[in-house]
Structure 1
Amino acid sequence: MKIVIIEDELLVAEDLASNLKQIKPDIEIVSILSSVKEAIDYFSKNSQPDLIFSDIQLGDGLSFDIAKVISIEVPVIFCTAFDEYALEAFRINGIEYILKPFSAESLEKALLKFQNMQKVMAGSIALKYEATIATLEAKNKNSSGTIMVKYRDRLLPFTLDKIALFFLENEITYLHTNSGSSFAMTESLEELEHKAGLDFFRMNRQFLVNRNVITEATDYFPRKLKINLSFPFKKDIIVSREKRGKLLIWLTEN
């Protein structure tokens, strides 16, 4: 079985490839692609594999954009951290997915489902992409843009423009407001990442930051970036070299 992986974080892609090989040793990882542009260039010149594993949000756009240029004729399994509500878009349109962080068990189930549904999933993938992204966009438009926080015996609403960042400390997630207050959250950073939308960027495992509070990104040895905020903050926010390019594109385009 020939597989192409589309993932802009090299460590995640390599981990996925390694897990797939352990599950099924005869799998051949034909290529690892890191962007929409690279995928379009690759599929313009090379035959398509038996199966594609793809992240959704890449540094230069959504992986759905690939199908707007290239007619994808093989099944795709998406690696996503979308919440359960958003995943209805995938269920409705017959596209398979696995949730990040993925496990060997989830990969094995996805491969088995691919083998069982191969003919059903193939052939109309581009149309399924269009239907799926339309559903996801409708979800985003219907979003209130408000995060609810339970504080003592009250529920406090915070609109996204009033939130500076979310951060993880001692395995507890916190919301930090523009005014300097912090509140403990029940949601994980992964859940908040998709509630917050495109104005927030996941800098690393600990920080999800609103672009409106970023004043600059400075070089930080070796080949990393340090994020400076518009207000004093007690922790350094460091972006890995793997995410450096994706962050710079996000800052430029948004």
Structure 2
Amino acid sequence: MKILIIEDEKAVSNDLLFTIKKIWESRPQLNIFQVYTVKESINYLETEEIPDLIFSDIQLGDGTCFEIFRQIEIKSPVIFCTAYDEFAIQAFKANGIDYILKPFMTETIRKALDKYDNLRKLFSNNTSAPNYEGILKLLSELREENRVASILVYIKDRILPIKLEDIALFFLEENDIYLLTLDGKKYSSNKSLDELEKITGNYFFRANRQFLVSRRIISSAHNFFSRKLALNLTIPFSPQIIISKEKKTTFLDWLSQVTK
């Protein structure tokens, strides 16, 4: 029995590994492998024997797990480890894929493994890969449906709503999160970039761990060192925002679909 864990947070990955081993401690020849990025996952799946089961986070540091499945046809069952809300979970269930909602519990993992055991024969007879493109489309639609209209910022004893359409980008600076408006005003945010990414909809793109940028301020992009992309913005901002080569395809797809 071979299991692959795709998870960019090593502590979460290790916790998942130990939990699976504990639940299946009596199962012989249980081999669990860990990878942490889209790039590592693709390299592993191209060079190693396809696993019997995959546990995969959706949002990885260098892109989404769907970028892996676009490049490699995988017929193994996938259990998603996700922090998405219940609406997104319904999308997974509609496509016949199980999930673990973060933060996960041992019993949740046990039930997912039991489901795999019950459906293992069905998986082994399956000759087609799951419709990951359809799931990704559903996630994008769900993000738009659940997008907030404004972001609340706190200034001393005041609570100020900033309209999403007036925000140029969110960024990490010295361990704090800030938002910058189109007219150059800077405010502190009490939400993480991960939280903001979920509530700002498809109109914002997570360039990397430091920046979440609005389509409105992107005028163009140009090739950068090592097949990366650098963004040209309509507003003055430093430092330069770079798209990694792993995220390049996803960014260009998003750029072509989202209008200003």
TM-score of Structure 1 vs Structure 2, range by shorter chain: 0.5 to 0.7
Q: How high is the TM-score relative to the length of structure 2?
A: 0.63
Distance in 1 (CA, whole Å) between partners of 2:57 and 2:9 is: 9
Distance in 2 (CA, whole Å) between partners of 1:217 and 1:15 is: 35
| Cα distance change on mapping 1:234 and 1:28 into 2, 3 Å | closer
Distance in 2 (CA, whole Å) between partners of 1:191 and 1:138 is: 15
- Residue identity matched to 2:55: F
Distance in 2 (CA, whole Å) between partners of 1:233 and 1:18 is: 38
Distance in 2 (CA, whole Å) between partners of 1:121 and 1:136 is: 28
Give the CA deviation at 1:228: 1.6
Tell me, yes or no, if structure 1 residue 77 matches structure 2 residue 79.
yes
Distance in 1 (CA, whole Å) between partners of 2:138 and 2:229 is: 34
Give the CA deviation at 1:216: 1.4
The residue aligned with 1:156 is 160
CA contact (8 A) 2:168 2:182 kept: yes
The residue aligned with 1:181 is 185
CA contact (8 A) 2:152 2:159 kept: yes
The residue aligned with 2:228 is 224
| Count, aligned residues | 228
Distance in 2 (CA, whole Å) between partners of 1:139 and 1:250 is: 14
Q: How high is the TM-score relative to the length of structure 1?
A: 0.64
Distance in 2 (CA, whole Å) between partners of 1:187 and 1:15 is: 22
| Cα distance change on mapping 1:91 and 1:168 into 2, 3 Å | same
CA contact (8 A) 1:163 1:175 kept: yes
| Cα distance change on mapping 1:90 and 1:147 into 2, 3 Å | same
CA RMSD of aligned residues (A): 4.8
- Residue identity matched to 1:116: D
CA contact (8 A) 1:21 1:27 kept: no
CA contact (8 A) 2:89 2:99 kept: no
Residue of structure 2 aligned with 1:208, choices 196, 205, 212: 212
The residue aligned with 1:197 is 201
Distance in 2 (CA, whole Å) between partners of 1:202 and 1:118 is: 33
Question: Deviations for 1:11-37, whole angstroms, at most 9, x for unmatched residues?
Answer: 9499999997787683377xx9x7xxx
Distance in 2 (CA, whole Å) between partners of 1:134 and 1:211 is: 20
Match of 1:53, SS state, is strand
**Identical columns (%):** 36
- Residue identity matched to 2:170: F
Please list every run of 5 or more consecutive structure 1 residues that lacks an aligned counterpart in the other structure. 43-47
Match of 2:170, SS state, is strand
Match of 1:222, SS state, is helix
